[in-house]
């Protein structure tokens, strides 16, 4: 016969415990914290503070700039990839690493963060060989 043991979590109500488990599962699956829908930790919400980023239109392994700037806070990256090559968008730095889905086509990707902190980051494409080929740019957030 199966025995069920009651576990008491000091200071946790069953609802709080369930919420903690669910949020932990979202985090383990790469989902965004706080319940925001999105890809790879990016939010789908579009903010007025935007950074325009584009892949080389002729298919070179580079972004349109070597350095970008953003204002700290809620930021939307508007990422265009009209090149014939598939790319992704990775934001890395200050303990953060967020990865978009792979994409190309006429429509830009809107990748948002509700609270990007000041600091220095890298914008990278991690498709095999692209980072090594030079598809890395600096992002300075003030």
Note the pLDDT tens digit of each residue in 92-132: 999 999 999 999 999 999 999 999 999 999 999 999 999 99
Low-confidence ranges of the chain (pLDDT < 70): 1-39
> Rounded distance, CA 79 to CA 136, Å?
14
> Rounded distance, CA 53 to CA 2, Å?
58
Provide the pLDDT for residue 40: 75
pTM comes to 0.73
Tell me the β-bridge partners of 67. Answer: 138
Q: Where do the domains of the chain lie, and which CATH numbers do they carry? A: 50-141 (2.60.40.420)
Residue partners of 82: CB distance under 8 A and separation at least 6: 54, 55, 57, 104, 105, 106
């Amino acid at each position: 016969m199966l025995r069920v043991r009651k576990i008491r979590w000091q200071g946790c109500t069953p609802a709080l415990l369930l919420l903690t488990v669910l949020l932990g599962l979202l985090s383990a699956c790469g989902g965004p914290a706080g319940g925001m829908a999105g890809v790879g930790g990016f939010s789908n919400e579009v903010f007025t503070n935007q950074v325009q980023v584009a892949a080389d239109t002729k298919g070179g392994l580079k972004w349109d700039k070597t350095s970008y700037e953003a204002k700290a806070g809620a930021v939307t990256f508007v990422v265009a990839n009209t090149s014939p090559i598939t790319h992704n968008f990775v934001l890395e730095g200050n303990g953060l690493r967020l990865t978009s889905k792979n994409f190309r086509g006429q429509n830009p990707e809107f990748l948002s963060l509700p609270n990007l902190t000041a600091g220095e980051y890298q914008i990278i494409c991690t498709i095999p060989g692209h980072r090594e080929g030079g598809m890395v740019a600096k992002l300075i957030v003030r």
